[in-house]
Amino acid sequence: MTTFSTTPNPNPASPQRRQEILDAPGFGQYFTDHMVQIQWRGNVEAGTGEWEQPQVLPYGPLSMDPASAVLHYGQEIFEGLKAYKHGDGSVWTFRPEKNAARINRSARRMAMPALPEELFLDSLKELVSRDKDWVPTGDGQSLYLRPFMIANEVFLGVRAAREVLFSVIASPAGNYFGEGTAVDIWLSKNWARAGHGGTGNAKCGGNYAASLIAQMEGDAHGCQQVIFTDPQRGNAIEELGGMNVFFVFDDNTLVTPELTGTILEGVTRDSIIQLAKDRGMTVQERAFTLDEWRDGVNSGRLTEVFACGTAAAISPVGRLISDTEVIGPDDARPGEITMSLRKELLDIQTGRGEDRHGWLTRLA
Ligand SMILES: *Cc1c(COP(=O)(O)O)cnc(C)c1O
């Protein structure tokens, strides 16, 4: 167990204020009383460096030099996972070792230092133990954990930064999209979020920045989400701005885009593949094109589409909309398999269902 040096927040939220927030947390608007910080100094190129004393500090603004590398060259990566309070008051999270491994894959791509997995997990445990009262207990509610890493070396030269900060903050969360309503998604034809050899499979802020213009385009057409394709592979479907995507066929088959390096390897994606296999479904990870989507809907063989990620768990997709066509019925309703996979996943995460794969880790 890592030892953290702790500075308790001298002005924590009052129990009354905290309860107000937990009654209607929304998403990503309110933060708990503390945060974790661990500073690294070293040289990624030379393979040297060390993580300094892990700290728990009062939640608050970072003091940063305007010449900090992240502000100029965007060396930034992050993670997202949820903690749930179970019936007995204990707090658990879902497959955090996957996030620990992924932040290191992202770090490698972005020329940032690896973080020992134990330090990642201990940071979550430390923060959640300290701010345990911030874990909401309402249906579908959780404490969203946001680990992130930024280059905070003060230097405008272009190279891998030699000072990096790892931090974890936590934010009580309600239901991301509300309860299982089908969302329309916009097909981005003008913009890509990732390209071959790029950073599509790293969880970095830059990918999100690149997706926002497409999301604005979608917003303007009444779509809550946007989906990207790979024009170099016959418009193979990739993923949404921050979620992976699945297609359900009437012959008990589930199809999801294969990981080509331009798609983020979601923990939710991986878990759904397992749950579907457990049910005896055939799961195919393969190229799946826009034409197949259209043909599947027209023939009636493609019966359900859903998106998935930690924030929204599983979210039914209604129509796919572009400037030239609409694919899917106007009255799309959440599909049966979509909603049953969603329930199974949420039951495991919230401790209502059996954790038969050992996916849960106790945080507090
Ligand atoms: C985080 C993320 C996902 C979902 O990953 P989960 O591990 O399931 O939360 C999907 N796509 C992108 C681009 C992401 O950043």
Atom 5 of ligand 1 has which residue's CA nearest to it? 266
Q: Determine, yes or no, domain membership for 140.
A: yes
Q: Determine, yes or no, domain membership for 142.
A: yes
Q: Are residues 196 and 215 in the same domain?
A: yes
Distance of CA 244 from the midpoint of ligand 1 (Å): 7
Rounded to an integer, what distance in angstroms lies between the CA atom of residue 227 and that of residue 182?
A: 15
- Encode pLDDT of 291-327 as tens digits: 999 999 999 999 999 999 999 999 999 999 999 999 9
Give ligand 1 pocket residues (Cβ under 6 A): 80, 203, 207, 239, 242-244, 264, 266-269, 309-310
- Residue 9: give its domain's CATH number: 3.30.470.10
Atom 12 of ligand 1 has which residue's CA nearest to it? 242
Rounded to an integer, what distance in angstroms lies between the CA atom of residue 200 and that of residue 211?
A: 11
Give the chain's mean pLDDT.
96
Tokens of 84: 């749930």
Q: Determine, yes or no, domain membership for 363.
A: no
Q: Are residues 191 and 166 in the same domain?
A: no
Atom 6 of ligand 1 has which residue's CA nearest to it? 266
Residue 185: CB partners within 8 Å, gap ≥ 6?
218, 223, 224, 225, 226, 227, 240, 307, 317, 318, 319, 320, 321
Distance of CA 150 from the midpoint of ligand 1 (Å): 19
Range of the domain at 222: 183-350
In one-letter notation, the amino acid at residue 176 is Y
Pocket of ligand 1, candidates 109, 264, 265: which has the most ligand atoms within 8 Å of its Cβ, to mutate?
A: 264
Domain boundary among 106, 139, 173: 173
Residue 175 — very low, low, confident or very high, per pLDDT cuts 50/70/90?
confident
Q: Are residues 227 and 197 in the same domain?
A: yes
Domain boundary among 173, 208, 237: 173
Spell out the alpha helix ranges (H) of 110-204: 117-130
Q: Are residues 160 and 194 in the same domain?
A: no
In this predicted structure, what is the pLDDT of residue 1? 84
Rounded to an integer, what distance in angstroms lies between the CA atom of residue 310 and that of residue 344?
A: 14
Q: Are residues 45 and 135 in the same domain?
A: yes
- Residue 241: give its domain's CATH number: 3.20.10.10
Q: Determine, yes or no, domain membership for 178.
A: no
- Encode pLDDT of 256-301 as tens digits: 999 999 999 999 999 999 999 999 999 999 999 999 999 999 999 9
Provide mean pLDDT across the span 82-95: 97
Q: Determine, yes or no, domain membership for 321.
A: yes
In this predicted structure, what is the pLDDT of residue 176? 65
Distance of CA 321 to the CA centre of its chain: 24
**120: nearest Cα among 86, 85, 70, 167:** 167
Residue 177 — very low, low, confident or very high, per pLDDT cuts 50/70/90?
low
Distance of CA 298 from the midpoint of ligand 1 (Å): 29
Q: Are residues 335 and 317 in the same domain?
A: yes
In this predicted structure, what is the pLDDT of residue 209? 96
The secondary element (H helix, E strand) that includes residue 247 is strand 244-249
Q: Are residues 10 and 146 in the same domain?
A: yes
- Encode pLDDT of 195-218 as tens digits: 999 999 999 999 999 999 999 999
Q: Determine, yes or no, domain membership for 361.
A: no
Q: Are residues 128 and 225 in the same domain?
A: no
Distance of CA 21 from the midpoint of ligand 1 (Å): 26
Provide mean pLDDT across the span 232-238: 94
Distance of CA 201 from the midpoint of ligand 1 (Å): 9
Q: Determine, yes or no, domain membership for 358.
A: no
Tokens of 153: 């070396």
Atom 2 of ligand 1 has which residue's CA nearest to it? 242
**239: nearest Cα among 206, 263, 223, 215:** 263
Q: Determine, yes or no, domain membership for 357.
A: no
Rounded to an integer, what distance in angstroms lies between the CA atom of residue 262 and that of residue 196?
A: 6
Distance of CA 266 from the midpoint of ligand 1 (Å): 5
Nearest atom of ligand 1 to the alpha carbon of 193: 13
Distance of CA 228 from the midpoint of ligand 1 (Å): 14
CA distances from 34 to 129, 133, 171 (A): 11, 12, 10
| Residue with token string 């990566």 | 77
Domain boundary among 153, 173, 193: 173
58: left (phi over 0), alpha (psi -120 to 50) or beta: beta
Q: Are residues 228 and 346 in the same domain?
A: yes
Nearest atom of ligand 1 to the alpha carbon of 207: 13
Let me know: does 253 contact 306? Beta carbons within 8 Å.
no
Distance of CA 194 from the midpoint of ligand 1 (Å): 14
pLDDT for residue 99 is more than 90: yes
Q: What are phi and psi of 361, to 5 degrees?
A: -125, 130
Provide mean pLDDT across the span 342-349: 96
Pocket of ligand 1, candidates 77, 148, 176, 203: which has the most ligand atoms within 8 Å of its Cβ, to mutate?
A: 203
Question: What is the total count of domains within the chain?
Answer: 2
Question: What does the DSSP assignment read for 163-202?
Answer: EEEEEEEEEEE--SSSSSPPEEEEEESS--S--TTSSTTS
Rounded to an integer, what distance in angstroms lies between the CA atom of residue 250 and that of residue 276?
A: 14
Between the two ends of the chain, the Cα-to-Cα distance in Å is 14
Q: Are residues 236 and 317 in the same domain?
A: yes
Q: Are residues 53 and 142 in the same domain?
A: yes
Q: Are residues 226 and 281 in the same domain?
A: yes
Pairing label, strands 48-51, 34-43: antiparallel
